[in-house]
Chains A and B, each alone.
Chain A
Amino acid sequence: MTIMKNITDGNAVGSLLKSGLSLNDHRNLILQRTKETGFYDGRKNLELKESDPIAYERIFSKLRAGLVSSREVAKKIAASPIVEQEGELCFTLYNVAGDCIATSTGIIIHVGTMGAAIKYMIQNNWEANPGINPGDMFTNNDCQIGNVHPCDIATIVPIFHDDTLVGWVGGVTHVIDVGAVGPGSMSNGQIQRFGDGVQITCRKTGVNDTPLRDWLHESQRNVRTPKYWILDEKTRIAGCHMIRDLVEETIREEGVEAYEQFAMEVVEDGRRGLTSRIKSMTIPGTYKTVAFVDVPYSHEDVAVPSPFAKVDTIMHAPCEITVKPDATWRLDFEGCSRWGWHTYNANPVAFTSGIWVMMTQTLVPTERINDGARYATEFRLPKGTWTNPDDRRTAHADAWHFLVSSWSSLWRGISRSYFGRGYLEEVNAGNSNPCNWLQGGGINQEGEIHAVNSFETAACGTGACAVKDGLNHAAAIWNPEGDMGDIEIWELAEPLLYMGRTIKTNSGGYGKYRGGLGFETLRMVWGSADWTMFFMGNGYMNSDWGLMGGYPSATGYRFEAHETGLLDRIRDGMSLPQGKDLNPDMPEFEKHISPSAKVKRDKQCITTEAIFENGDLYLNYLRGGPGFGDPLDRDPKAVEEDLNQNFLLPSYAEKVYGVSAMRDEDGHWEVDLKETEIRRKVIRQARVAAGVPVRDWMEQERVKILDHDASVQVKQMFASSFALSPKFLAEFKSFWDLPDHWQLLEESLGIPMFGAKHHMDISELPDVHPVIMTEQ
């Protein structure tokens, strides 16, 4: 058992492994053998799998089942609805080098983020100081190490056998608050790391299986919601210890040699698994795609501490996917825009690891996803971009704002493969931008300091498939097992009553198959003492696109109302707004609140803390998914169904779908098939009449570019991408046939450009050796 000496003294270097190697040398040799041979750790033959396939499968099944069940058991400890209702947790098992062997279900983006934390400890000689011993616990949520955002807290426990390190287990939960400037787990009032909430860098927070008291005292007072924080930590520790027991039991049963061999071979097996799926499902070639999202910060309802952040910008992520003849692939994000003074920056690990969340829903839908897939993939994320910042001040609290958008474009790219090969069942037009994030805090209905982040976002509309509509209010890209959560539970967790929860009409992208619809909930503040809330989502832009003729989903908008008079109306038995904002251009809620209410109904979907009194209203609109195929190909009967279900506003049935429908006395819609056929013919003719040959349109657009005629945010986006990527600039100039002297410099835009020229990377801190796993 651990003796006190080991707690403060580090290990003699090389004493943790039988080989006598330091953890860093051990890992570097694996990387070297992988590079030289193309096989993980040079394992050309899977000796255990080939010689004793049953033992191999037995070990895998036991570990995987144990990971899944540990998650289910541990989940019950948590009180936070984010963990307990939404399942925002995950447990992952790693080999000694920090490469993932197997993972549970849940927010599996953390396969990579926790692996990056382990690798950071390895590379920065944690074994010498603070030491790695049986019974230790390490806590990490540092975004500069690879975490997605500070609210994902990871507990990492080393696993030993006979005083030798045999692996690691990590558990992560999405906590409700990390003490950022604004309340809520993904807040956005701050613009730098220093306001992003508490960040813990692989700190030793427990010994002898016991959390250290200084850690408990310090961490609990640094967050707004200590009750949830404490139970979340217990959840992570319990899960990690269950999994550690499981590994110890497996070693007793199978022998340590077999376990260690398995822990290496399974990664190579995972690598081969991905290449075989690429070969069986995709088409070699080059796919180009792009994504954007709006960062509208010049608006008066965005209060940030620093004047240089008060600019409208657009985040930009072009991607070139190359599927190679050898069935490996490369994802190159050349041309991305610069990081910014907001909380939507991302570390490369968050980006690459998140891609596996997406791939498990399409290319590798198996429980065998592990770090092997990463070894079969080349990623390039250029340094200085939003997804690989070159400055240690960046904030990351809502990295999802753009991560989800940039992945949506990857669905489109890869779906072209599936469509081309006839695997239509796999085609997905993309994912919605899972937002709005209803967040806020203050003093809640229990009289306690509180913060909220409604995870109703976990059930947005999904993208359309090539053979069926997307699912309505079903899922979010970051958690394949999403759930909107029970109203009753949210009402216990938040001082916000539900006036209604209903499907969001017209939110899914149109198409032959439409995107899944989102939903909307209208919340009335009730029982709070001091309370603020804010909005977080896309509004001026869409972050998904349709596929092959389908439309993007609807964008977001904001509705909030103050001085509503609702408490009086309730007392007087008058009509109340019920939650359905059928057509935001023809407001309904306003008919059921005081005529003098202060209403904000606009496209400003990012705001910072605003004061909400009891009786005030907040509309939480969860987005729909993108559509597939020309809407004129949609079965008219499906449009009829959409009308009868209130999924579609009648005017768009006519204008977009070309469907002629009549409503009978009972309010039931019926399509006129013959009229529809005629109408669709007319629309096709109208398209031919209104459309311009692309090359003619390019001439007109080229003139605008020569004249620098575009909004500041569009020009800022291009200028920042041009400055980081001469290649992107050259391609742009070549496409538009621009003269050599044409240029667009950010300096010419008259906006602050802090960070563009002067920055300082985390690697410039003393003794810091960042783990770099992608080309940059």
Chain B
Amino acid sequence: MTTYTKKQVTDLVKGELDWDSLHQMLSMPKDKERYGQYMEVLQEQVSWDDRILLPLGPHLFIVETGDNTLVTKCGCGHNFGDYRQNWKLNALVYVRDNETKMSEVYPKLMAPHTDWQVYREYYCPTCGTMHDVEAPTPWYPVIHDFQPNLKAFFDWLDMPAPANA
């Protein structure tokens, strides 16, 4: 199985990996070590010490804090609460639900009609990063995108699971 250097994984995360290596990653069987290398690279990008267990987005992570609780955390350090809860419920939202607000992002004829569909932008209350854009109908419940089974995941990785997974 092909494995990659930490430099290659770092470049991948930065979006700077050369095409040949990227193509190799696409076409070869997956390297199980990637997760460990990836966590190291991500951990170096943040200014806090909580251990990153699983990224949910470029700036959003499930982390294990010093007292072993698992929370969802923004890259800026903002804490979105227990990792089993939908982090979006503790975010800020900006809803594009009329033509004026839609026109800020697309020409009128290239944007949805808000009688049919709205854009819901979820921001970090501390740093203003946009972590997600939902595009549902009005009334649609906030979507809980992903609830990982961390215990089974670490089992698959042959790694010890966090104490409170």
Residues of A whose CB lies within 8 Å of any CB of B are 279-281, 283-290, 292, 294, 314, 316, 323, 325, 327, 365, 412-413, 416, 419-426, 466-468, 506-507, 510, 512-513, 540-542, 545-546, 548-552, 554-555, 557, 583-585, 601-603, 629-633, 635, 649, 652, 655-656, 683-688, 690-695, 697-698, 701, 704-705, 710-711, 713-714, 717-718, 731-732, 735-736
Contacts and interface: CB of A to CB of B under 8 A. Distances in A.
Nearest to A700: B95
B13 A424 contact: yes
Nearest to A695: B89
B9 interface: yes
Interface string B1-37: 0000000010011010100001001110110101101
A627 B146 CA distance: 19
Contacts of B130: 549, 630-632, 687
Contacts of A649: 107
Nearest to B126: A688
Contacts, number: 249
21 contacts: A285-B146, A287-B145, A290-B143, A416-B146, A419-B57, A422-B12, A506-B106, A540-B117, A541-B112, A542-B117, A549-B57, A551-B105, A551-B133, A585-B108, A655-B105, A687-B121, A697-B93, A697-B95, A704-B139, A710-B137, A714-B137
Contacts of B131: 548-549, 630
B88 interface: yes
Contact of B111 (A554, A684, A687, A714): A554
A693 B91 CA distance: 6
B46 interface: no
B4 to A, nearest CB: 10
A285 B156 CA distance: 12
Given A292-B137, A512-B58, A603-B109, A691 B145 contact: no
Specify the main secondary structure of chain A where it touches its partner. mixed
Contact of B88 (A419, A688, A694, A711): A694
Contact of A540 (B60, B107, B116): B116
A219 B136 CA distance: 44
Interface residues on B, range: 35 or more
A499 to B, nearest CB: 19
Contacts of B117: 292, 294, 540-542
B38 A421 contact: yes
Given A284-B148, A585-B109, 20 more contacts: A287-B147, A294-B116, A365-B26, A422-B39, A466-B58, A548-B60, A548-B131, A549-B132, A555-B112, A583-B107, A630-B59, A686-B128, A687-B121, A691-B91, A693-B93, A695-B89, A714-B139, A717-B137, A718-B139, A732-B141
Contact of A691 (B35, B110, B111, B125): B125
Contacts of A314: 116, 137
Contacts of B146: 285-288, 413, 416, 420
A420 B89 contact: no
B142 A694 contact: yes
B145 A554 contact: no
Nearest to B30: A280
